[in-house]
Amino acid sequence: MISVKSQKGYRLRLAGPPSAELVALDSPTHIAVLPEHIPFVKPRLKIQVEDSVQVGTVLFEDKRNPDVRFLSPAGGRISDIRFGDRRVIQQIVIRRDLSESFLEFEAVPEKALDGMQPEQLIEILLKGGMWALLRQLPFRDYPPPGSTPPAVFVTIGNLQPFHPHSKVFLRGNEGLFRYGIKILQKLAHGPIFVAAHQSDYQTISTLNDLVTHVYSGDYPAHDAGILVYRTRKDAGNNRSWYIDGQDLLLMAELVKSGKYPTQRVVVVAGNLAAEKKHFRTRMGSPVRHLLNDHPDKGNPRHIAGGVFSGYPVDADGYLGPFESSLTILPDGRGQELLALFRPGYRKPSYSRAFLSAVNPGDFQMDCNRHGGIRACIGCNHCTEVCPVDILPQLTYKSILADAIEEALTHGLLDCVECGLCSYVCPSKIDLFPTLKNAKAAYYREQGRG
Amino acid sequence: MNTLKRFFDSQRGHFLKGGRFERYYPFFESMESIFFAPAEITETGPYVRDSLDVKRYMLLVIVALLPHLFFGIYNAGYQSHLSSGLSLSFFPVVLKGLWIVMPLVIVSYTVGFFWEIVFAVVRKHPISEGLFVSAMLFPLILPPTLPLWQAALGISFGIVIGKEIFGGTGRNFLNPALTGRAFLYFAYPAQNSGDVWTVISGTAAKAVDAFTGATPLAISAATESGSVHQALTREGYTLSKLFFGLYPDSIGASSTLLCIVGAAFLILLGIASYRIILGDIIGVLGMGLLLNALSAEGSLPYLSLNPFYHLLMGGTAFGIAYMTTDPVSAPDMNAAKWVYGIAIGVLTVLIRVFNPAFPEGIMLAILFMNIFAPLLDHIAVRMNLRRRVPNV
């Protein structure tokens, strides 16, 4: 096993972590897919409002590559398709029938898998709508079907607060996981790397023969981008594929059973969450359903996908089928009196400018910006925290100056989109969105995005 | 405190878009944010943010500077009474010090804030907290006898030419307080060098006979034969006096003890870069030792001065603790910070020893290296990038 130590990064001691308890939720009456939040995909709708769908019916395909489809995670009727600005498809809502019918796909028993051609397997994954779970570095779009990666990274665990713990979603699914690894071995000619956290003894011991990388360090040490950055000797692995451990289980479930998977493990946490737990729930559940219908406390803000790299969702909206984290924090609109002069024992900070530097506990946080937007004063916090040693403030400046070549030599494409640079910035500069958007724009300019 | 909140809430309307004083919103925001943390919530990811902001960052520097202000008030009053043969008991001295120092501080803040508001309104940027630090640093490095109009002119030059014309705090490449000080130094040498370090109270005839008013730096530079140590001791400048700083000098910069405390405070809180400070000290001591080694029979006595004296005398310690560590005008890269610090130390000693026109070298050394900071950064960045595995 290769030990990958991430020296930089940051562990946010956010209060309200989930317990390891796993609760199964009933199926909600409505389920939605959120095409807006699938990166780079340009959806072409294949259904209309009031169409009836089965689990596995094609909802939309990607205009860039019509073979890549996205399927319905529920059976019933399309009750609403909501468009946003410039006709972006925000959500496709399905009103679920009591008895859902499943579209049958080809089921591949474990023995048959060995004799299969890669092309057949790709066909199954494309038809089954699971191809897009694979991602390719550095842009994090799905890889072109049929291409071969230098390596595939399977990352187990996510250090961003708060994500499902591997011991919850992997428990009892080790066989399925091994099956998934076999699929990857068929798809890719290169090596399959499986990475687990140093403290994740359970995974390391039960999947001892599969785990190749053991990572340690603070968020975002789990990210495939970091693993590549820390282990590469040359540019060879820069275009590696990666897939999240839980997503690999979904992919394996599809191929093994021939049915489109409908459930995943989701974490609901944060200090305003009534039940801070792991939930086994339907993919694309309403936020209210995930809250187990507990009423709101305070002025909550619901964040899907983690506090650093996630996005806010409406309390009456849905958690996308591919998300596994919902964090609920106070919106923090209040104005704290004389906040400037307080010693700040309870104010979390990367710096040592508050008394919290000696506070060993977790911190209650809200979504206040904690300061006005100012020019960069050169405090260097972003450089200190950047896990891939980019100089974020200089890269940011070269992006604003339209010097994209300069930004690329600074390592823009190594950016793992962790959001830490923006988090620590005392001037509250939008480093993270700027770097992320510049990367995406560069990808689109190459005609691929 | 609810009254305060109501007051700001009731006035906000006038400053928002469409209000009567829409243009002056930066002023309102600046005043309100002293009392209340801003209410804005995150609109872009990440959706939680660190508690540290620039206001807090700058406030901590001001906190570190307050002891210098208090000491400067006492010292200015003490030197004035000492030279004039007046009572040296605490209260009269402090009152005298307040009378000397506070007008300079008030002028510095008022005029500095005026320019900041003018530029914030015209250029439509928020009022930056860097001003509050610059306007505090500036009076601390002035001679106590400076006419107020010169103080006003100096801070105006420092803020406008040293900072605002480049876009305000964060975009300046010179330290604004030092820029203003250097401007005064060259524009009005009569009021900024020589016997300007003590305010004589009453008529000059009353001055005590023994009083010369010469600063340690002036004595060191003027010594032509014998040992500088002896010359300093003859004038009463013992090591402990230089360390504690109770001698005629610029208002707040003389106490090395307070500089060490302030620098330690800022390093502990992660505000000041220890790399720059250590680099400075290495530069000063290294160059001092080199000069010691070069000194021979009949050479300038200043050459053989114990290098530690360079750290104790004049404004070196103050410059090292608060001016070289200004993050905006210093380089960003860690390697460049070492070079920057060492170069400042070396230049300070060189200017002091070899240039009779400038008894104090740290001001010019810092401004000189401020100009070189982007170049140092550029070289450090190139070296850094050469180590990267390309990913294009």
Among A176, A324, A306, CA closest to A250: A176
Among B322, B286, B334, B276, CA closest to B307: B286
Closest CA in chain B for residue A313: B47
User: Cα separation of A441 and A433, whole Å?
Assistant: 12
Closest CA in chain B for residue A237: B391
Q: What angle do CA B29, B31, B35 make, to 5 degrees?
A: 105
- Summarised one tens digit per residue, pLDDT across range B32-66 is 888 888 888 898 889 999 999 999 999 999 999 99
- Summarised one tens digit per residue, pLDDT across range B310-368 is 999 888 999 999 999 999 999 999 999 999 999 999 999 999 998 877 888 899 999 99
In this complex, the residue of B37, B128, B129 whose CB is nearest that of residue A335 is B37
Q: What is the pLDDT of residue A262?
A: 93
Contact call for B48 and A391, based on CB within 8 A: no
- Tell me the average pLDDT of chain A: 92
Contact call for A409 and B390, based on CB within 8 A: yes
Backbone angles phi, psi at A95, to 5 degrees: -85, 120
pTM of this structure: 0.92
In this complex, the residue of B29, B270, B333 whose CB is nearest that of residue A372 is B29
B contacts of A353 (beta carbons < 8 Å): 52, 56-57, 60, 269-271
Strands (DSSP E) contained in chain B are none
CA distance B58 to chain A (A): 10
Q: pLDDT higher for A230 or B124?
A: A230
Kindly tell me if the per-residue pLDDT of A120 is higher than 70.
Answer: yes
Closest CA in chain A for residue B333: A380
A contacts of B389 (beta carbons < 8 Å): 232-235
Q: What is the pLDDT of residue B139?
A: 96
- Summarised one tens digit per residue, pLDDT across range B76-118 is 999 999 888 888 899 999 999 999 999 999 999 999 999 999 9
Q: pLDDT higher for B300 or A30?
A: A30
- Give the best residue of A137, A325, A368 to mutate against chain B (max B CB count within 10 A): A368
Peptide bond just before A162 cis, omega within 30 deg: yes
Kindly tell me if the per-residue pLDDT of A65 is higher than 80.
Answer: yes
A359 in reach of chain B (CB within 8 A): no
Confidence tier at B281 by pLDDT (50, 70, 90): very high
Q: Which helix (H) or strand (E) holds A60?
A: strand A58-62
Query: Strand A43-45 vs strand A58-62: parallel, antiparallel, or unpaired?
Result: antiparallel
Note which residues in 308-337 of chain A have CB less than 8 A from chain B. Answer: 308-312, 329, 331-337
Residue B33 C-alpha from the chain's centroid:
25
How many Cβ atoms are within 10 Å of B67's Cβ, its own excluded? 17
Query: What residue type is assigned to position A182 of the chain?
Result: K
Q: What is the pLDDT of residue B98?
A: 95
B81 vs B90, B108, B193, B199, B211, CA distance in Å? 11, 25, 21, 8, 11
Contact call for A370 and B60, based on CB within 8 A: no
B contacts of A414 (beta carbons < 8 Å): 388, 391
Q: Which two tokens stand for residue A394?
A: 């200089």
User: Cα separation of B234 and A41, whole Å?
Assistant: 82
User: Cα separation of A352 and A342, whole Å?
Assistant: 14
Q: What is the pLDDT of residue B202?
A: 62
Contact call for B45 and A432, based on CB within 8 A: yes
CA distance A304 to chain B (A): 10
Backbone angles phi, psi at B270, to 5 degrees: 75, 20
The DSSP letter of residue B345 is: H
CA distance B97 to chain A (A): 27
User: Cα separation of B281 and B311, whole Å?
Assistant: 8
User: Cα separation of B17 and A376, whole Å?
Assistant: 26
Backbone angles phi, psi at A116, to 5 degrees: -80, 150
A358 in reach of chain B (CB within 8 A): no
B388 in reach of chain A (CB within 8 A): yes
- Summarised one tens digit per residue, pLDDT across range B327-341 is 999 999 999 999 999
B385 in reach of chain A (CB within 8 A): yes
User: Cα separation of B64 and B137, whole Å?
Assistant: 11
Note which residues in 344-373 of chain B have CB less than 8 A from chain A. Answer: none
CA distance A349 to chain B (A): 5
Q: Are the C-beta atoms of residues B80 and A373 closer than 8 Å to each other?
A: no
- Give the best residue of B3, B42, B172 to mutate against chain A (max A CB count within 10 A): B42
Where in chain A are the domains?
A: 1-18+26-261, 369-449
Contact call for B171 and A375, based on CB within 8 A: yes
Q: What is the mean pLDDT of the segment spanning A51-69?
A: 94
Q: Which two tokens stand for residue A116?
A: 């299969």
Contact call for A235 and B29, based on CB within 8 A: no
Query: Strand A152-155 vs strand A192-197: parallel, antiparallel, or unpaired?
Result: parallel
- Summarised one tens digit per residue, pLDDT across range A132-152 is 999 999 999 999 998 999 999
Q: What is the pLDDT of residue A44?
A: 95
B contacts of A372 (beta carbons < 8 Å): 29, 33, 38, 40, 53-55, 126
ipTM: 0.90
A contacts of B388 (beta carbons < 8 Å): 389, 409, 411, 414
Question: Which residues are A153's β-sheet partners?
Answer: A193, A242
Contact call for A351 and B39, based on CB within 8 A: no
Q: What is the mean pLDDT of the segment spanning A40-68?
A: 94
Q: What is the pLDDT of residue B5?
A: 83
Q: What is the mean pLDDT of the segment spanning B191-196?
A: 82
In this complex, the residue of B1, B38, B48 whose CB is nearest that of residue A372 is B38
Q: What is the pLDDT of residue A437?
A: 95
Contact call for B389 and A311, based on CB within 8 A: no
A138 in reach of chain B (CB within 8 A): yes
User: Cα separation of B98 and B199, whole Å?
Assistant: 12
- Give the best residue of B47, B62, B377 to mutate against chain A (max A CB count within 10 A): B47
Kindly tell me if the per-residue pLDDT of B205 is higher than 50.
Answer: no
In residues, how long is chain A? 449
